[in-house]
Amino acid sequence: MTTDFPTGEVGVRFQSLPVVEGQLFRFEQTRLRVLADVVSKTFETFSKSELDLLLGEALYSERFRLKRERANLFTRTRYKADKALWSKVQDGLLESSVAVDRKALLRSVIKHYAEEIGGHFDPRVYRFATHAVPWGMNWLLNAASVQRFLPWGMTESLASRLDVIGEVSMLQRLAHRGTILLVPTHQSNIDSVLIGYLIYLMSLPPFSYGAGLNLFSNPVLSFFMSRLGAYTVDRKKNNGIYKEALKNYSVRILREGVHSIFFPGGGRSRSGAIESKLKLGLLGTGLEAQLQNLRVGAEKPNVYIVPMVMSYHFVLEASSLIEDYLAEAGKHRFIITDDESWDPRKVLNFFWKLFSSQSGITSRIGRPMDIFGNFVDEDGQSIGPNGTTIEPVRWLTTCGELKAEPQRDHEYTRELGAKIVQGFHEGNTVLTSHLVAFSFFEALRKKYPELDLYRFLRLSVAQRSMPYFEFLTHAETFYQIVRNAADRGQLFMSKSFETSDIRTWVKDGIQNLGLLHDAAVVKVVDDVVWTEDMNLLYYYRNRLCGYGFSLLSEAGGGLGGQPGKIDSKGFLA
C-alpha cells in the first residue's frame, strides 16, 4: 500500500513542512520526574540482591573499562566523574556495611547512570535542525546534481532523494493512538540522521532514540543529539546495574508516550545482511511499557512496533564493517570508533556521490505490529486469526492477574523478534546494485564451488572475472528468481527494474553499486566483468542472503532460505 505522502517527484524547493509537536516537546518538564522514576524502579529491582556482590561486580567491570578508555577533550569531564564515582564505591565497599550504607552506594551509582543516559529535548534546536540541515543538504544536492546546468537552477531537494514507501499513513494514524517503537534495519551511522529527517518529512513528532556514547565524543554531533531527545547507550558498560537502568529508562519514556527508535540488531549489520538475530532485551521494553500502562489504566496504553527497512546502493562504512565481520571479532565488535563515518570529508563525499549519481535512498515502512508480533489494523487493534481481535490485556493475564511474568513475556518478545526479522525480509526493497552484486558473486562461486569463504575471497584478479555476456545470463536467472520471490510477497523490487531490457537495469546496478568506494565493486572493461574488492562484493551481495536464492547445493540449492544461516562453506546462505 502506498500513500499520498509527498515523495519522489515532488521535490519542492526549500520545502519546509510544519514541525509536528509531540510528547518529546514537553520532555524537559517531565525529565526530572522520569529520571527519578528510573532510579527508584532500578533500585527496586535490586532490593533483594546481595548488594556487596552486585556493586563489587560492577566495580570490577567499570574499573576494567576505565583503564582501557582514553578520554578526549570533550569526554574528559565525564571520564573524571566516572572515576570519582567508582573510587567512592571502592572506598565504601572496603568499609563495613554498618559504616557505609550499601543501599546509598547503589542509589548513587544508579543516579549517576540515569543522569548519563537521560537525554534532553530543545524544541529550538529541533526546529533549527529540521530546517537548516536539509537546507544545507539541498544546497549540496543542487551543487552536485547534473541538473544544476538546467536553466531553472536549484530544483532538487533532499526530500526528493528520500523515498519512503509502505505503511506511512498507517504509521501516522497509529502515532495518535499509542506509542510507536520504530525498529529499522541498521547499516550505517547515517541511518539515524536520515531516519530523524524522514520522521519530520512524514509529519510525525520527533522520536527519541538511543545513541552510542561514542557518538557524543564528537562535539557537533553531541550538541545536536543531546538536545534532540537522544539518550546515551554505552555498550561498553556491561554490568547489570547499568543495563537495568537503561532498560528502565527506555520503558519509562515509552510510557511517557515518547515515540522511540530502536535498532533491534544492536549495532550496524557487519555482514551487510539484513538482521536475523535481534537484541530481545531492548525489544522487550515495549511489552513492559504497555503492561505497566495497562496496569495503571493509562489513556493510550498501546505500544506499536513498526519495522522499517532502508536500502542503500552504497554504504559509507562498508569496508570497515565487512572486515570486522570477516575477522569475526565478536569481542571487540563495538569498539570501532574511527571508521569512515567520523571523517567529515567522507560523509560529505557520501552525500556528494548520492546526489550526483541521481540515485536515492529507499526506505519502506513495514506493517505495524503489537508487542506480541500480531499485525494491527488502522485503529490499532491487534488482529488474530479467523477474524478475531486480540485484547492485549488478556494475553498479559496469567492466573487471573494482569502482571509481568518474565518467562511468558520473554517468549512473547522472542516471537515478536521473529516477526520483525520476517518483516525486515519481506519489506526489503531490492535495488539494482544488490542484484548485480548477488548475481556476480554467485556466478563466480559457481566457477569455484569447492572453495570455502576465506579462500574464495582471496581469488586472484584473473580468477574473479568473467565475460559480460556470461554474467548477463546469470543476472537474468537471478532476476527471474527474485521476481518470483517478489510475486510471492517475500520482498520488493525497486522501480529501476521496470524495464524490458535486462542491460538497462544491470547497467544501473553496476553504476550505483558501491559508487562511494575507491575500489570498483563491479566493473566492466572490454566486455569483461570483474571486481577490485572481493570483500565489498561479499558485503553488498549479502543483502540478498537469507532468502535461499543461491543455487549452489551447499546453500540448500534454492530450497528456501533461513535468515542468518551459514552454509557448509562458511557463506551466508
Binding site for other proteins (CB under 8 A): 372, 384-391, 394-395, 397-401, 405, 407-408, 411-412, 415
CA distance 254 to 208: 9
Min separation Cβ 173 and other proteins, Å: 23
State the nearest-atom distance from the C-beta of 392 to other proteins, in Å. Answer: 9
Nearer to other proteins, 90 or 381 (CB): 381
CA–CA distance, 137 with 157 (Å, rounded to integer): 8
In the complex, least distance from residue 389 CB atom to other proteins, rounded to whole angstroms? 8
Position 332: which residue type?
Answer: H
Of 323 and 405, the one with the shorter C-beta distance to other proteins is: 405
Q: Are 164 and 182 in contact (CB under 8 A)?
A: no
Nearer to other proteins, 18 or 406 (CB): 406
Query: Measured from the CB of residue 113, what is the shortest distance to other proteins in angstroms?
Result: 30
User: How many Å separate Cα 108 from the centre of its chain?
Assistant: 32
Q: Pseudo-torsion of CA 289, 295, 297, 303, nearest 10°? A: 20
Strand partners, 493: 430
Three-state DSSP class for residue 143 = helix
State which residue, 115 or 401, has the beta carbon closest to other proteins: 401
The H or E element containing residue 26 is: none
Instruction: With CA atoms as reference, report the closest residue to 268 among 187, 182, 179, 345.
Output: 187
**Least distance in angstroms from the C-beta of 302 to other proteins:** 15
The residue type of 169 is S
Nearer to other proteins, 34 or 573 (CB): 573
CB of residue 412 vs other proteins: minimum separation in angstroms?
7
Complex with other proteins: residue 49 or 562, whichever CB lies closer: 562
Closest separation between CB of residue 106 and other proteins, Å? Answer: 25
Distance (Å, whole) CA 573 – CA 569:
9
Among residues 280, 294, 191, 215, the alpha carbon closest in space to that of 243 is found at: 280
Nearest approach, Cβ of 548 to other proteins (angstroms)? 15
Q: Which helix (H) or strand (E) holds 175?
A: helix 168-177
Which of 207, 412 has the CB closer to other proteins?
A: 412
Are the C-beta atoms of 317 and 337 separated by less than 8 Å?
A: no
| DSSP conformation class of 331 | G
Helix (H) or strand (E) holding 211: strand 208-212
Q: What gap in Å lies between CA 211 and CA 206, rounded to an integer?
A: 15
Pick the closer one to other proteins by CB: 16 or 562. 562
Q: Are strands 179-184 and 303-311 parallel, antiparallel or unpaired?
A: parallel
- Pick the closer one to other proteins by CB: 238 or 422: 422
Task: Report the distance separating Cα 426 and Cα 490, nearest Å.
Answer: 5
Least CB distance to other proteins at residue 62 (A): 34
Give the containing element (helix H, strand E) for 517.
none
Residue 359 is classified by DSSP as: -
Q: How far is the CB of 382 from other proteins (least distance, A)?
A: 9
**Residue 353: strand, helix, or coil:** helix
Closest CA to 541 of 455, 475, 490, 472: 475
β-bridge partners, 528:
467, 525
State the minimum distance, in angstroms, from the CB of residue 568 to other proteins.
16
Cell of 461: 584478479
Cell 550499601 locates to 102
Question: Closest distance between other proteins and the C-beta of residue 396, in Å?
Answer: 9
- Our CB check for other proteins shows the closer of 89 and 416 to be 416
Smaller CB separation from other proteins, 387 or 489: 387
Give the shortest CB-418-to-other proteins separation in angstroms.
12
Give the SS3 label for residue 236.
coil
> Which of 335/552 has CB closer to other proteins?
552
Q: How far is the CB of 399 from other proteins (least distance, A)?
A: 4
Alpha helix locations (H) across 261-386? 280-295, 318-326, 344-356
The nearest distance, CB 381 to other proteins, in angstroms, is 12
Q: Which is nearer to other proteins, 333 or 408 (CB)?
A: 408
CB 467 within 8 A of CB 473: no
Q: 57 or 401, CB closer to other proteins?
A: 401
**Residue whose C-alpha is closest to residue 362's, from 138, 156, 164:** 164
d(CA 113, CA 81): 11
Task: Calculate the CA 34 to chain-centre distance.
Answer: 25
* Inter-helix orientation angle 280-295/240-255, to 10°: 50
> Which residues share a beta bridge with 99?
none
Q: Of 524 and 552, which CB lies nearer to other proteins in the complex structure? A: 552
